[in-house]
Amino acid sequence: MKAVIRPSKAQGGVKIPPSKSMAHRAIICAALASGKSIISNIDYSVDITTTIECMRKLGAEIICDGSTVIVYGIKDFNRLADNNIECNESGSTLRFLIPVFSLTGQKITFTGKNRLLKRPQKIYEDIFRNAGLHFVQDEEKIEIQGALPGGEYTLSGGVSSQFISGLLFTLPLLAENSKIHILPPFESRSYIDLTIQMLAKFGIEILWENELTLYIKGGQKYIPHDETVEGDFSQFAFFGVLSAVNSPVDIYGMNPDSLQGDKQIIEILSQFGCDITCKNGCYRIQADKLTAGEIDLKNCPDLGPVLCTLAMFSRGTTRIYNAARLRLKESDRIQAMETECAKLGCLVTSSENEMIIHGGYTAPKEILHGWKDHRIVMACAVALSVLGGEIDGCEAITKSYPSFFEDLKKAGIEVELYD
């Protein structure tokens, strides 16, 4: 799918879809709680439907009724409906569920698409092999067998918080008490806090012994709970930057008290010169002049692509650091944004762990490419709302935000989609 975007003035208002991060966590917790839970405000992106299908295979009954999901959770781990677990491109689904599915004791094969199985999984490989369990990975699958035991685990804090969250979903169900020791540098702690927050709502207690140690009491049980998923600050960021580089729109459906790490977009926009107001979960952002600055991505790596767009329209030179994980996403997001920003007249240089963006832009003379990556497509679309142009590979948005272009139109931007 391609999108032709014409320079147009942003206006009106947009309701941001529910948090993908929180929806994954709520659905998994509900599926592990024996009984009925109702999860409201669900957006059926490919990632979320993937997690739903996986939990069905674990034995949960899940009924989708509009934006509400009714979940009848599993009573035990003897109800596995299928040993082949398709994770598509969802890193959250894969990494959250490898430890959970291990508790079936059966041989499980996880598959995925595009770059998913090329993304680092060595932390789990080491954990399984150290426990004497089966773990094999190649370019087509990951195969496991054997239930992870309780006890002491030591994990790097600098690769992905998803490995820690995967253990946190699983270890409370074991008879033994457990601890997770996190080796610094510890990045994306905010995502661990989101997991702990959701687990608490479903009756699971996780304690911080200190800044780098988690204590997990064994023998716990998930309790059914009804949950409404809050708005997604990862997706909010695209319309926040649209408001900053184009003109203001009302952005609503948000929780100002959210623990989401990507809420850092509010602080970053303010740092770059935006005036920000919020009333009853509705944000309004406007800027007369944007000034470049330094951005630490340690706790908000998903903001990387759209922050390149913000930097492009800012006076001066922006440095984005702690960015190495951008190379391990659906695309190498550093390379992708370097390439696409160059087409827009903006010089971007990089090292393994940082990006330098020199503010400046021109209308593109060639088609932009989406790199099979939803966040690259959306970041480019925000830039083209000012400059005009065309993007191909736009079907990638279905991974996280299927209604993105519809919402962009609601925000006053002229968009034409075609195959």
Q: What does DSSP assign to residue 163?
A: H
List of residues 6+ apart from 61 with CB closer than 8 A: 71, 72
What are residue 168's phi and psi, to 5 degrees? -65, -30
Reference 413, options 282, 236, 234, 247; nearest CA is: 247
What is the number of other CB atoms lying within 10 angstroms of the CB of residue 209? 11
CB burial readout 269-306, b (16+ within 10 A) else e: beebbbebeeeebebbbebeebebbebebbbbbbbbbb
Residue given tokens 């030591």 in the structure block:
154
Torsion of CA 121, 122, 128, 132, to 10 degrees: 150
190-238 residue pLDDT tens? 999 999 999 999 999 999 999 999 999 999 999 999 999 999 999 999 9
Per-residue pLDDT of the chain in tens (419 residues, 90 and over written 9): 999 999 999 999 999 999 999 999 999 999 999 999 999 999 999 999 999 999 999 999 999 999 999 999 999 999 999 999 999 999 999 999 999 999 999 999 999 998 899 887 899 999 999 999 999 998 899 999 999 999 999 999 988 899 999 999 999 999 999 999 999 999 889 999 999 999 999 999 999 999 999 999 999 999 999 999 999 999 999 999 999 999 999 999 999 999 999 999 999 999 999 999 999 999 999 998 999 999 999 999 999 999 999 999 999 999 999 999 999 899 999 999 999 999 999 999 999 899 999 999 999 999 999 999 999 999 999 999 999 999 999 999 999 999 999 999 999 999 999 99
Tokens of 48: 């979320």
In the numeric block, which tokens belong to residue 373?
């990556």
Q: Residue 379's pLDDT is what?
A: 98
The per-residue pLDDT for 119 is: 80
16 token code pair? 């941001």
Both tokens of 11, joined, read: 């206006």
Query: Tens digits of per-residue pLDDT, 45-68?
Result: 999 999 999 999 999 999 999 999
The secondary structure of residue 158, as a DSSP letter, is S
Structural element, H or E, at residue 134: strand 134-137
Supply 334's token pair.
């550093």
Tell me what pLDDT residue 136 has.
Answer: 95
Q: Is 397 helix (H, G, I), strand (E, B) or coil?
A: helix
Report, as residue numbers or ranges, the catalytic residues. Answer: 302
The C-alpha R_g of the chain, in whole angstroms, comes to 21
Rounded Cα gap, residues 205 and 192, in angstroms:
13
Residues 6+ apart with CB under 8 A from 330: 89, 114, 115, 371, 372, 373, 374, 375, 396, 399
Look at residue 118 in the predicted model and tell me its pLDDT: 85
Give the model's pLDDT for residue 159. 84
Identify the pLDDT of residue 328.
86
Q: What letter does residue 231 receive in the DSSP assignment?
A: B
DSSP codes of every residue in 169-216: HHGGGSSS-EEEEEESS---HHHHHHHHHHHHHTT--EEEEETTEEEE
Burial zone of 11 (CB within 10 Å; 0-12 exposed, 13-18 middle, 19+ buried):
middle
Q: What angle do CA 182, 55, 229 make, to 5 degrees?
A: 75
DSSP 8-state symbol, 16: P
d(CA 240, CA 247): 10
